[in-house]
Chains A and B, each alone.
Chain A
């Protein structure tokens, strides 16, 4: 019962949303791109989409500058 977040093994929590996971991981950056098993999750869906067991999650912080 685990998931992989940015290469780290993390416990899977039943009924946890993307928003909940970001909080639990203390990812406080406001601007992130989240992919679950290579599928992009739109920001407006963070509070609705549940994190599936055994999934692979990438959280990428976007930092201003260019």
Chain B
């Protein structure tokens, strides 16, 4: 009976995730790892926006492979996601998010994930999404750099903004970016997106 209940619950969750969509701004350390987690989890549709190309220096933390160096990150990401879960609909936009129109690719997704790198772009993006799409849940991350101190990471919720936050972390200009911590934050963001879509697990 317990097994049957669990099976019903898991089928319900699968269906809900399949019908849901997540937009990801940036396909670097945060975005690439979050996208992989969401594709594995069975999110139905992912929208990924980035303008960069894969570089050798990205491979220490971003979900790309040696033979993808030089490719657009969005295209490389699509390839990788399709190898894991071909059932996901993937829309990619190979462009830079510009101030004034940052919300455009994300108008019809269920949850937006901020996965940008520098603090200024993060701030602008958050301000634009919160003011132009006020009903849209937005997951963001601040304080990704460094290593260890995993227990300082918290979810700071403020209305529709869910911030994966280590307020004591240094900027990546002053500290290293390390794969486990970047992936931890990325997966934290992905996990928050799923929690928002499914509702709190009681």
Interface residues, chain A, with chain B CB atoms under 8 Å away: 30-33, 35, 38, 40, 42-43, 58, 60-66
Contact = CB atoms under 8 A, between A and B. Distances in A.
Contacts of B165: 60
Q: How large is the interface on B (under 10, 10 to 19, 20 to 34, 35 or more residues)?
A: 35 or more
Interface in B160-189: 161, 163, 165-167, 169-173, 175, 177, 182
B21 interface: no
B177 A65 contact: yes
A66 B127 contact: no
A45 to B, nearest CB: 11
B75 interface: no
Contacts, number: 83
Contacts of A32: 123
A65 B126 contact: no
Contacts of A66: 26, 28-31, 115-118, 122, 141, 144, 172, 182
B145 A64 contact: yes
Given A64-B118, A66-B172, 7 more contacts: A32-B123, A35-B159, A40-B131, A58-B158, A62-B119, A63-B143, A66-B31
B74 interface: no
Contacts of B119: 30-31, 62-64
Nearest to A40: B130
A63 B158 contact: no
A61 B170 CA distance: 11
B10 interface: no
16 contacts: A31-B120, A33-B161, A40-B126, A42-B131, A60-B161, A62-B119, A62-B120, A63-B119, A63-B143, A64-B118, A65-B145, A65-B182, A66-B115, A66-B116, A66-B144, A66-B172
